Chain A
């Protein structure tokens, strides 16, 4: 079982719709959770971090965390063509200690079509 799993996609949504990206993780003791956006050939850039169960909203983005189900998701409202990218889920496992090591999923490719 992979430590952090994401559907590779592509997830295709029309412009203006809500895109829902999902991620599951295996380490029940994981503490910190991140969503990164990566455009083709570019470096990952942080969109959201979430540490507690529930929802966290930032503009058009909402991260949702359910530690009991070991599940974290990212909702993108009013999706735009510029949101087309690969979204990486990253988890800081319990064994990371002070090193802040992250385990990354392989990413979900999102395509927003006009």
Chain B
């Protein structure tokens, strides 16, 4: 079973709709991240979280919100989707201090029409 899972894997929606992307992990990691990836721009950090009480904005948080429901679950919401939010979205996790590698989920391909 995958350590980091994301649902849905693909989603097509319309402008103005609310969308939630979900991420779950069984790695026991406390740090979780949401990234978006656009061609030629690499991975850009949207939000990150140390634990359920700690949520932080990344470099491109406008238009997005997150919820850390439990240590293992981290959800990303687009309150009112717009076409330039069409991208590949990845969730990642990282463990305790001293082991700073990030591990990625399979990604969600989101298309906003």
Contacts and interface: CB of A to CB of B under 8 A. Distances in A.
Interface of A: 8, 32, 34, 41-46, 49, 88, 90, 92, 96, 98-102, 104-107
Contacts of B109: 41
20 contacts: A41-B88, A41-B107, A42-B107, A43-B105, A44-B43, A44-B104, A46-B103, A88-B42, A88-B43, A90-B102, A96-B100, A98-B97, A100-B94, A100-B100, A100-B102, A101-B33, A101-B45, A104-B43, A104-B44, A106-B40
Please report whether the interface of chain B is mostly helix, strand, loop or mixed according to DSSP.
strand
**Residues of B in contact with A, size category:** 20 to 34
A46 B106 contact: no
B21 to A, nearest CB: 14
A99 B50 CA distance: 6
Nearest to A105: B42
